[in-house]
Structure 1
Amino acid sequence: MKSRPEAKVIFVSIALASLTGCGMTDAKGAGGVLSAGTSTSLAAAGRAEKISSEIRDVFGIKGKESVTGPGVSECGGKDPDKYFQIFHPWSFTPASPERLGAVMERLEEELPKRGWKVVEYGSDGSKNRNIGLTAENDEKKHSVKIWHYAKRNPPKLSLMVVSGCYQVPDGEKVDWF
């Protein structure tokens, strides 16, 4: 089944709003998204992939990751020719699905040791009792939302890594992908 582009835009918008709205605000406390500094879109996308890989290192089990690359999104209310955010959605299907619960517990315990602040952890209240974890890393200027879907076939983790707001270097424009 093909997904409609509009659905992807809505999903990414909701995910970005929910991830960057927690504690990652600018230094002035104006309620905006934390500044991630100056970068090109491609370099920022590479950083998001590296952060995803660092999170993957915490899992401690074998499995298969989806092959999805980062994307570029507008930075709420700022000039889209100069400012952008990176989002990197991906999923992980374990070789041993029964170990996913332990992975979520490990993430809750280990991410803070690696500079992440867990701001939300627990059941989503659905009949499937999916577990969600949201964490922010002010030093890395990124957030992550991880969902544990135990009742899916196959069971898996879905992740969304989102950056703070980047500004492109002088004389450059945002590359959209």
Structure 2
Amino acid sequence: MSDEKKIEIRDEQVVKENVEHASSEILDIIATKGKVTQSGAFAAPCSSYASEDKVHRMRHPWSIYGVPGEDLKKAMDRLRKELPAKGWKIVKDGPDKSRAKLPQIVANSPDGHMSADLRLWIEPSESGRSSMIEATVVSDCFQSKSDTAAEAG
């Protein structure tokens, strides 16, 4: 490896549980009754380490929808207030780079091992589509303990 940051060796199941727990905490802060997509965290390759096929991160994408847009706007305001109160550092709060310029909050976890990307989609009521908060919680890049054990064996 060259000047790349040293990749930590971590227990993949523990990382997955931490990412899912962080997602659950964010949903608790949103504190809005709505429908939530059901998905779990999964391992995805770390694109910044293309040569290292065993280096990956956990991703947990989900959304809450079926809620009036005004309630979702209030939920985003709660996230702005409550994430820092729980130790998260908001590193971006403003429009995303999409053509729609969606309101976006990006926050890093207190331990620095996770990041949350939260975007607010407000759909006009006549569109027939549902407004939602789209969330993706990701871990930093790591190598699984099981991968390193397989290499040693």
> Which TM-score band (shorter chain)?
0.7 to 0.9
Correspondence for 2:59: 87
| Structure 1 stretches lacking a partner, 5+ long | 1-29
Does 2:111 correspond to 1:111? no
Does 2:131 correspond to 1:155? yes
Question: Percent identity at matched positions?
Answer: 26
| Structure 1 Cα separation of the partners of residues 142 and 111 of structure 2 | 14
Does 2:108 correspond to 1:136? yes
Over residues 3-62 of structure 1, what are the superposed CA-to-partner deviations in whole Å (9 max), with x where a residue is unaligned? xxxxxxxxxxxxxxxxxxxxxxxxxxx674x8565112x332222111100111101221
1:23-172 superposed matches below 5 A: 32=5, 38-40=10-12, 42-75=13-46, 76-77=48-49, 79-81=52-54, 83-124=55-96, 128-139=100-111, 141-151=113-123, 153-169=129-145, 170-172=148-150
Q: TM-score, length-normalised on structure 2? A: 0.78
| Structure 2 stretches lacking a partner, 5+ long | none
| Structure 2 Cα separation of the partners of residues 36 and 143 of structure 1 | 17
How many residues were matched structurally? 141
Does the 8 Å contact 2:68/2:131 carry over to 1? no
Q: Could you say what secondary structure the match of 1:55 adopts?
A: helix
| Structure 2 Cα separation of the partners of residues 105 and 94 of structure 1 | 18
Consecutive aligned runs of 4 or more in structure 1 exceeding 6 Å deviation? none
